[in-house]
Structure 1
Amino acid sequence: MAPTVATPISESSNITDLVVTNGNGVKGLSEMGLKTLPKQYIQPVEERITVSNILPQESIPIIDMSNWDELKVSESICDAAEKCGFFQIINHGVPIEVLENVKDATHRFFNLPAEEKRKFSKENSPSNSVRFGTSFSPEAEKALEWKDYLSLFYVSEDEASALWPSACKDQVLEYMRGSEPVIQRLLEALMKRINVKEIDETKESLLMGSKRINLNYYPICPNPELTVGVGRHSDVSTLTILLQDNIGGLYVRGNNDSWVHVPPVSGSLVINVGDALQIISNGRYKSIEHRVAASGSKNRISVPIFVNPRPCDMIGPFSEVLARGEKALYKQVLYSDYVKHFFRKAHDGKNTIEFAKI
């Protein structure tokens, strides 16, 4: 049943109560049958996605992972990470059933009653490992993003089983287990290109010591051309592994002010370089700005896994990268400080990387 409010929702306090306090999220706004977008969600003109700044003929690489051990596969991964920062992989080994199950679980969570979802809000969640929210950083944003999310920090399976919502935890854990070999193989290939011959325990911690998975929900929007699902940003991860549904809406920065759509490919996973890997590789691998458009016709979901250093790790260019005299472009920074800097402001393109530059 659609939520009801007694006074016009154009008032800021009513928006906050409906969306945040009462746990309805943007999904609750969408289900009210709004004819116009609330002003809080109207983005500045320069932040909107328009036909004029999309490059329809461009695309990101699609890499067939059927034969992981072939040199050309490894080279394709590294070339894409260097030149594009984004690529899609097919025949990666994660069963289609696992991918479909986690998509179904995402819809199942967001279809829960508001009072169930509200149990995992910032104010009510039993742990920082579980967070239901909306937009990106509402306190810092001049215009809100048209998105709800459930963020799940992965510490251990025991903690996940105890704390994550029962509507989705089994399917999410299955998906994370299935993605583990994919993550390992991608990082092994990427490390060899920068002269890291072996990923020992220290390197493993720096590359993939912690993980976070988001279940993202982008409801139907009355004026999608006026807002965004997610604003311009690069990820702070080492790598991000993204599962899309079949609706589309992800855009990657192309040349100058242009954007390239990443079309859904059945059974594929979208891989992108994060800021941490750009820093670790001393800029050889590039994290790229990306954003998500709102849809006026369908509810869209996506499920990204963010592979990160541990919060307590110091990150900087690996010594192997600098061994041949290459000048360091980035200083050593505490990863938790880098992440805090990212989350205390609105999405602002690639500006977070400046925090680590020498």
Structure 2
Amino acid sequence: MVFVTKPPTENFSYPRGSKVSKFFAGIPLIDLSKPDSKQLIVRACEEFGFFKIINHGVPMEFITRLESEAIKFFSLPLSEKEKAGPPNPLGYGNKYIGKNGDVGWVEYLLLTANTESNSQRFLSVFGQNPEEFCSALNDYISAVKKMTCEILELMAEGLKIQPRNVFSKLLMDEQSDSCFRLNHYPPCPELQDLSARNVIGFGAHTDPQIISVLRSNNTSGLQISLRDGNWIPVPPDHNSFFINVGDSLQVLTNGRFQSVRHRVLANGSKSRVSMIYFGGPPLSEKIAPLQSVMKGEEESMYKEFTWFEYKTSCYNTRLADNRLGNFERIAAS
């Protein structure tokens, strides 16, 4: 099996001064079939910006089929995979994340969630028959999008705001700028020689969209940061999904929900494959705190911006930057 070209380890960063909490009770677990799920979702978004869901309704057949297709793609020779690149920003990328110098022990495919426009990109990779890959992609994204909209509507109900689709309509819009990412983290053999030091697979960041839906195989590596700065490992579960609050949802809720800082560490012996659906609004959509979320005389913490403006700003930053910083309102002294 051919994996990402092995780069020199010194090109990669190592997390320094990372603290791991000894008092963390665990990732919030929410059963979407239970009547109290909307209250639990709101609490998880307020406290962590992150939670795990079960009874999600996405057929396991769709999950395993797309993972199988992803593994087939990442197993191709590098010269073949590069036919789906370079990422600009969509397409195949290897090691380099974005254009601003971020590097990780990762290779990836970044695609639009509009699956029809993806098929042309894969003609050169899969010959004249990209249908199997694109069919698996379409089934998975369609099912996950439906589930994501249900979660966003439960959030609105839990916040007691109307209409119920105030968040989900942004993803359902025909112009929705949602995207989809397949990540492959090959085993990192250098970890055997680093005296248990960690190599960054994907650097610490928040997601700029409204919401992110992650599913991975049973290999560890994902970590989230708590409010106190402690890093918490997220135990893998290939049957479930993990939900991230994105920067845009943080703004829409005027900071009541906070986007979660997260990262991935490389694994010394096992390959990790993750699939992430990023639910984004239309490019022209104005993002600002919803009046229905504001309480009493509460003021907006953020300047209004369009998704296009924020997305453009994000592409011009490093992963670790505070991307919302330029859009925060600074209280007069």
TM range, normalised to the smaller chain?
A: 0.7 to 0.9
Overall identity of the aligned pairs, in %: 28
Find the counterpart in structure 2 of residue 217 from structure 1. 184
What 5-or-longer segments of structure 1 have no aligned partner? 3-25, 31-36
Equivalence for 2:133: 168
Q: Equivalent residue for 1:134?
A: 94
> Please, what TM-score do these two structures have when normalized by structure 1?
0.80
Q: Distance in 1 between matches of 2:162 and 2:256?
A: 17
- Asked whether the equivalents of residues 223 and 264 of structure 2 are also in contact (C-alpha less than 8 Å), the reply is yes
1:134-171 residue CA offsets vs partner (Å, 9 max, x unmatched)? 34546422x6211111001123x432344456263221
Q: Which residue of 1 aligns with 2:21?
A: 55
For residues 147 and 17 of structure 2, what CA distance do their matches in structure 1 show?
32
Give 5+ residue unaligned stretches, structure 2. Answer: 124-129, 192-196
Query: 4+ residue stretches of structure 1 with deviation over 4 A?
Result: 199-203
- Quick one: structure 1 residues 48 and 131, their matched pair in 2 at CA, closer, same or farther if it must change by over 3 Å? farther
Mark the CA change 1:138 to 1:191 in structure 2 (over 3 Å): closer, same or farther.
Answer: closer
Give the structure 2 partner of residue 7 of structure 1: none
| Amino acid across the alignment from 2:117 | E
SS in structure 2 at match of 1:331: coil
Aligned length: 314
Kept in 2, the 8 Å contact 1:137–1:344? The answer is no
Alpha-carbon distance between aligned partners in 2 of 1:134 and 1:55, rounded to the nearest angstrom? 32
Measure how far apart 1:231 and its partner are: 0.8
- How big is the alpha-carbon RMSD for the aligned residues of Structure 1 and Structure 2? 2.5
Counterpart amino acid of residue 144 in structure 1 = V
Query: Closer, same or farther in 2 for the Cα pair 1:184/1:226, shift >3 Å?
Result: closer
Matches within 5 A, 1:248-259: 248-259=220-231
Distance 1:226 1:83, change over 3 A: closer
In structure 2, give the amino acid aligned to 1:159. S
Give the Cα separation in 2 of the matches to 1:178 and 1:314.
Answer: 27
For the residue of structure 2 that corresponds to 1:327, the secondary structure is coil
Q: 1:49 to 1:97 in 2, by over 3 A?
A: farther
1:29 aligned residue: 6
- TM-score with structure 2 setting the length: 0.86
Query: What CA deviation, in whole Å up to 9, does each residue of 1:8-33 have, x standing for no partner?
Result: xxxxxxxxxxxxxxxxxx71217xxx
Q: For 1:118-197, what aligned pairs fall within 5 Å after superposition?
A: 118-122=82-86, 130-135=90-95, 137=97, 139-141=99-101, 144-155=103-114, 157-164=115-122, 166=130, 168-197=133-162
Q: Give runs of aligned pairs for residues 1-358 of structure 1, distance below 5 A.
A: 27-29=4-6, 37-41=8-12, 43=13, 47-48=15-16, 53-55=19-21, 58=24, 59-67=26-34, 70=35, 72-122=36-86, 130-135=90-95, 137=97, 139-141=99-101, 144-155=103-114, 157-164=115-122, 166=130, 168-199=133-164, 204-205=169-170, 209-224=176-191, 225-322=197-294, 324-348=296-320, 351-358=322-329
Q: Deviations over 1:196-249 (max 9, x none)?
A: 322568971378722111000111113343520111111001110000110111
